[in-house]
Amino acid sequence: MLVLLNLTSIHDLLNSLNKMAVYDRMLSELKITSFNNFVDENNALNAVGSPYTEALQLLPDIEQHRTYSKNPEI
């Protein structure tokens, strides 16, 4: 365990936990998982002064016709 702690950044660990929490909420909102009770988590986040906020990122527009190769078979 001590060897693993020496190889693990606490900052990376906290980032990973945050990403897992966002992923869990997303799965719940998409109805892939059946858990919908985030009251305790929301209360804990509010208590420490960082309430949950959903930060959506828009995807860039897709080009309708893009040439990837001059080969007509591709």
- Segments forming the whole domain that contains residue 11: 2-47
Q: Quick: pLDDT tens for 20-36.
A: 988 988 888 888 888 87
Question: Does residue 1 carry a pLDDT above 70?
Answer: no
Number of domains within the chain: 1
Q: Is residue 61 part of a domain?
A: no
Q: Is residue 71 part of a domain?
A: no
pLDDT of residue 51: 84
Question: Does residue 64 carry a pLDDT above 90?
Answer: no
Q: Is residue 65 part of a domain?
A: no
pLDDT of residue 10: 82
Q: Is residue 6 part of a domain?
A: yes
CA pair distance 40, 52, nearest whole angstrom: 12
Q: Is residue 57 part of a domain?
A: no
Q: Is residue 8 part of a domain?
A: yes
23 and 30 in contact (C-beta within 8 Å)? Answer: no
Q: Quick: pLDDT tens for 5-63.
A: 667 778 888 889 889 988 988 888 888 888 878 888 889 889 999 887 777 777 888 77
pLDDT of residue 48: 92
